[in-house]
């Protein structure tokens, strides 16, 4: 490894994530090391660490576990989906992370209106005392 590669890990916050590369309706993914500020479609990849196809199952996956462990030890973060994939492939140990948002109860629009109306202060006339004659 050159000194230039080490300076990259110091200067940027690195992230290991999936990058979609498949055709329309045929998704396949690359496992890539990118700067965390770059979007997934930017194409500015520092290193390709493998590939994964969720449709094919476990037989068609190529994951470079040694390089992934190296970058994790140098401070690279892992996306939640990538963490779950590495745990299921037994590259790293740990628990899977729930990546779906928590369910919230459905609130009807009528209930929202009722909540809003009582919150507004009601204008009630105040009585002023009149002096007795």
Residue 87, C-beta contacts closer than 8 angstroms, at least 6 positions apart: 93, 94, 95, 96
Rounded average pLDDT over 87-92 = 84
CA 106 vs CA 69, 91, 101, 103: distances in Å: 42, 39, 14, 9
Intra-chain end-to-end CA distance of the chain, in Å: 100
What pLDDT digit, counting tens, does each position of 29-53 carry? 888 988 888 776 777 888 888 888 8
| pLDDT at residue 118 is higher than 60 | no
Domains of the chain and any CATH numbers:
3-88 (3.30.1320.10)
Task: Identify the pLDDT of residue 106.
Answer: 80
Please state which of the ranges 11-20, 53-62, 79-88 shows the lowest mean pLDDT: 53-62
What pLDDT digit, counting tens, does each position of 53-79 carry? 878 666 677 888 889 889 989 888 888
């Amino acid at each position: 490894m050159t000194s230039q590669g080490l300076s990259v890990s110091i200067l940027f916050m690195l992230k290991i994530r999936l990058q979609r590369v498949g055709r329309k309706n045929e998704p396949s993914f690359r496992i890539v090391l990118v700067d965390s500020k770059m979007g997934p479609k930017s194409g500015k990849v520092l290193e390709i660490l493998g590939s994964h196809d969720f449709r094919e199952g476990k037989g068609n996956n190529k994951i470079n576990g040694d390089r992934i462990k190296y970058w994790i030890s140098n401070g690279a973060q892992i996306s939640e989906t990538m963490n779950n994939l590495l745990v299921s492939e037994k590259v790293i140990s740990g628990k899977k992370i729930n990546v779906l948002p928590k369910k919230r109860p459905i609130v009807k629009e009528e209930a929202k209106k009722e909540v809003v109306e009582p919150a507004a202060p009601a204008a009630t006339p105040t009585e002023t005392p009149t002096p007795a004659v």
